[in-house]
Amino acid sequence: MSDPSSETTVGSIEVDGKNLNFTAGETILEVTRRHGAVSGEPCKIPTLCYDERLDPFGGCRMCVVELEGSHNPVASCARAAEDGMVIRSSTEAVEKHRKTLLEMVCSENRQVDVDPLSGYASQELKELADRYDARSGRFAGKKSGKSREDDPNPFILRDYDQCISCYRCVRVCAEQEGDYAISVKGRGFDTQITVEFDGHLKDSACTFCGQCVQTCPTGALADRKALRHTEVPGEIEKTRTICTYCGVGCSVDILTKGDSMVGVQPAMDGPANHGALCVKGQFAYDFVQHDERLKTPMIRGEDGELHPTSWDVALDKAAQGFLDARDKHGRHSVYAVASGRAPHEAGYTTQKFIRSGFWSNHIDNCSRA
Amino acid sequence: MSNPLEDMSKPDVIFCIGTNMTECHPVAATGLKKAVARGAKLIVADPRHIALAEMADVVLPLRVGTDVALLLGMAHVIDREGLVDEAFVSERTEGIEAFREHLARFTPEWAEGLTGVPAADIVQAAVWYGEAERGAIYYTLGITEHICGVDNVQSLSNLALMTGNIGREGTGINPMRGQNNIQGAGDAGALPNNYPGFQAVTDPAHQAKFAELYGHEIDLEKGMTKVTALELCGDKIRAMLIDGENTVVTDPDRSHCEHALKSLDHLVVIDLFLTETAALADVALPATAWGETDGVCTNTERRVQRLRAAVEPAGDARPDWWIVSQIAKRCGFPGFDFESAEDVFNELCSLSPIYAGLDWDVIDKGEFHWPVPERGHPGTPILHQGVFENGRGLFRSLEYRDPAETIDDEFPVWLTTGRRLASYHTRTQTGRSHGIDYLLPEETLEIHPDDVADWGLQDGGLCRMTSARGSVEIKVAATNRSPRGTVFTSFSFNDTPVNYLTGSGYDPVTQTAELKVCPVRLEALPESL
């Protein structure tokens, strides 16, 4: 979010009595959020179908505000700011409208409360239901969306009983990922989020990047792999780091409960990825706590096999082998290969070991193969 | 990359060559898809009909190993059609006259003869790139993993220099790095020719700087590359330290590689698992993994970013820097009293001119692209703005060379290798992540359906694939992604060790292996008939 007082502003609007300047093309919601982030008084206009990375959609109508001179409330996510607009964002009428809408939305879903492991945005409906006390059940009855329990894929739970037809999954797949794998079948109560030929994700254009899971506000599309850890005790903590796979350097949050790694979510403000990930970064993290990890130093014994030992013994043996080679065959007989997978500190110490220890440049990394 | 990732949505003409970006750098590809959606033209040169080709405005399906010919043909057209950026060329480059003379004989029709790409398509691609306001080149290992890898890169450089598509937003020559910190390994000095920060070891001034630090002189000659070192194992090379590389499965010519490592007097391997390589070690040491390790990495756009530990190390695993420092201390080497990753990184910054403005705290939010020559410098998202570091951009007059091995009666099929979306390298990590097997359970050999029929193979059946070096059994997958006469596989599965076959030759300058070209023959296996 840029500085609201920047030179690119083209006018100002009044929101709840405050004058807010805006830049060309900004919507009422964007202006209000941007100023809120700067002022420390966050914008309170609620949204459900909104994802700031996507084009305005205006489907859920939660973000409607009163605009002076307009007969009906307007969707603030889709209406561009115009100089001199006077807006009231939370009048009694608007708040009542929002509550009624939410009661209808909630009435369609099997449950409003879903595990936060479901996905990055999965708590949005729950939080609004709490805020507007919308679990009245007074619209209970017909429901839309049918879960695809038949899809065996291990990554993406397709629990469409929870779908509220906000189309965020459809739009993120098209606009952000560029894959156009997800589409909509039917309308009204027959609305069903699906893929080509109504089949399984694996047989579609889906690449399992997880973007739909992370933008879903209800847990209808959920991280099936993370949800295996629902029963693990403890609060979810997030640690910001960089993905371990290719060179793009996507920012991710590792989700932990206690000392268990339970999932990964993309960092929406990651400078290289802005919330995007691929199947590897999103789902291929559990090698870290795999049983087959090498957990103790090993040295080769007289019997020719590798045996566990202490760090002291292993490090001494490692060092002695290099010194022996140097003493018998000269300092150029020692070579080191650094990793393109380990951090800088690994490569730096490895090259220093060779250069300061053996006075040579017999050091390389794994980039030639 | 000369330009940052965020520039990928900005060009009006994008030239992708030898990069299967949607599978190997999927998140970077999303930027490119946005550019295409908003009307940018996409030129894709690749022997295979990869997903990028589906989105392309023109596809140049060249025969494997003929990139130089294709790029010479394009340069010829750019010159012929008057699309050379004369102002840029006279201001910032050298050698255009000789280059133009050189280009005269490389017509698109000549290039068609070698590449198999219709001359009209070569002309179209060259005209689009030549006319672009912002033309950007993206490439990956399809360019570098050839005996002429350096020639390929220099051919791309020629195109960018002719058209002035460098040093500006949305342009550039952009190699996509394949590993999370392969850029950082080079930055940190893990190269035989450079100290940290790409300071050439052959420069006496650099030698003096590090001699003062270490208290003794270091060789003024470059060290040998890993490729040469493996050649000399058991002979001149007697002891080796390998950190986090499954050499046995990733490197070409596996028999040679295994033999080399086994003939060492002393092999120390640091890794997360007892990999095929660690299993050959005299000492195998457990390193902490991603998610357990604090540290720093540099991505493909030279952005320096922090890695943070989220969980405790597995068992008794320790960070790589601690392990290497302990070995060094026990050898009696001074200068390894590091107490944290922060200590190590800050020492690197103090020695590297491109990191001089950085330290552990400064990079906390990952805002900086190197070079950052002093504190307070904003970093350098776009290289070569206004001036090239080494003076003027040089045109290189290159000639096409055949791959190290070409097809013949004994080995009549081209094999090219690469990666797949759901798998990473030798699967030490993805293969141990729940669910990945659902997407990619086994290795397959991708063959054009008509070739499958002509060669008496069966889709889903087994075949034996043999090169001059070795042989594997592999499952056949019929697909139109492969052109007639060229087959594709990855090297991910140790039970289908494709690297017994590859390794026909190496680029003479970088010693990068020609993993993209390997003549083979295929035979149906009786049990699959």
Query: Under a CB-based contact definition with an 8 Å cutoff, are residues B257 and A354 in contact?
Result: no
Q: Which of B229, B250, B286 sits opposite A362 (nearest CB)?
A: B229
Q: Which of A172, A268, A162, A171 is nearest to A219 (CA)?
A: A162
B154 belongs to a structural domain: yes
Query: Under a CB-based contact definition with an 8 Å cutoff, are residues A266 and A198 in contact?
Result: no
Choose from B206, B254, B282, B290 for mutation: most chain A CBs within 10 A: B290
Q: Cβ contacts of residue A253 below 8 Å, gap of 6+?
A: A238, A239, A240, A241, A264, A265, A266, A267
Partner-chain contact B272 A294, CB within 8 Å: yes
pLDDT in the model for residue A50: 97
Q: Which of A271, A354, A356 sits opposite B366 (nearest CB)?
A: A271
Q: Residue A362: closest CA among chain B residues belongs to which residue?
A: B223
Radius of gyration of chain A measured on its C-alpha atoms: 27
Partner-chain contact B311 A280, CB within 8 Å: no
B371 belongs to a structural domain: no
Number of Cβ atoms within 10 Å of the Cβ of B205: 8
Choose from B283, B363, B429 for mutation: most chain A CBs within 10 A: B283
- The CATH number of the domain where B63 resides is what? 3.40.228.10
- The CATH number of the domain where B468 resides is what? 2.40.40.20
C-alpha A125: how far from chain center: 17
Q: State what percent of residues in chain B have pLDDT above 70.
A: 99
Q: What is the pLDDT of residues B37-89, one digit of tens each?
A: 999 999 999 999 999 999 999 999 999 999 999 999 999 999 999 999 999 99
Q: What is the pLDDT of residues B295-350, one digit of tens each?
A: 999 999 999 999 999 999 999 999 999 999 999 999 999 999 999 999 999 999 99
Query: Under a CB-based contact definition with an 8 Å cutoff, are residues A364 and A355 in contact?
Result: no
pLDDT in the model for residue A6: 58
For chain B, the domain total comes to 2
Partner-chain contact B319 A311, CB within 8 Å: no
B160 touches chain A (CB under 8 A): no
Q: Distance between CA A110 and CA A39 in Å, rounded?
A: 38
Q: Distance between CA B471 and CA B462 in Å, rounded?
A: 13
Q: Which chain A residues contact residue B434 at CB under 8 A?
A: 154, 225, 286
B78 belongs to a structural domain: yes
Q: Which fold has domain A232-293?
A: N-terminal domain of TfIIb (2.20.25)
Q: Distance between CA A352 and CA B229 in Å, rounded?
A: 18
B163's tokens? 């058209």
Partner-chain contact B223 A176, CB within 8 Å: no
Extents of the domains making up chain A: 9-90, 108-226, 232-293, 298-368
Q: Cβ contacts of residue A5 below 8 Å, gap of 6+?
A: A21
Q: Which of A243, A322, A345 sits opposite B239 (nearest CB)?
A: A322
Q: Which of B349, B53, B426 is nearest to B187 (CA)?
A: B349
Cα dihedral sign for B477, B175, B182, B301? negative
Averaged pLDDT for residues B485-496: 93
Residue type, A167: Y
B461 belongs to a structural domain: yes
Question: Following DSSP, what letter does each residue of A56-95 receive, concatenated?
Answer: ----S-TTEEEETT-SS-EETTTSBP-TT-EEESS-HHHH
Q: State what percent of residues in chain B have pLDDT above 90.
A: 95
B354 belongs to a structural domain: no
Q: What is the pLDDT of residues A132-190, one digit of tens each?
A: 999 998 998 888 899 999 999 999 999 999 999 999 999 999 999 999 999 999 999 99
Question: Following DSSP, what letter does each residue of B157-190 receive, concatenated?
Answer: HHHHHHHT-SSSTT-EEEE---STTHHHHHHTT-
Q: Which of A202, A259, A272 sits opposite B299 (nearest CB)?
A: A272
Q: What is the pLDDT of residues A218-269, one digit of tens each?
A: 999 999 999 999 999 999 999 999 999 999 999 999 999 999 999 999 999 9
Confidence check: pLDDT of A311 > 90:
yes
Partner-chain contact A341 B244, CB within 8 Å: yes
Choose from A315, A339, A354 for mutation: most chain B CBs within 10 A: A339
B108 belongs to a structural domain: yes
CATH number of A9-90: 3.10.20.740
Query: Under a CB-based contact definition with an 8 Å cutoff, are residues B238 and B265 in contact?
Result: yes
pTM: 0.96
B96 belongs to a structural domain: yes
B202 belongs to a structural domain: no
Q: Distance between CA B362 and CA B357 in Å, rounded?
A: 8
Highest mean pLDDT pick, A5-19, A133-147, B130-144 = B130-144
Q: Residue B28: closest CA among chain A residues belongs to which residue?
A: A248
Partner-chain contact A366 B272, CB within 8 Å: no
Distance from CA of B83 to the nearest CA of A (A): 32
Q: What is the pLDDT of residues B256-302, one digit of tens each?
A: 999 999 999 999 999 999 999 999 999 999 999 999 999 999 999 99
Partner-chain contact B424 A351, CB within 8 Å: no
Range of the domain at B81: 5-176
Longest pairwise C-alpha distance within chain A:
92
CATH architecture entry for A108-226: 2-Layer Sandwich (3.30)
Query: Under a CB-based contact definition with an 8 Å cutoff, are residues B514 and B142 in contact?
Result: no
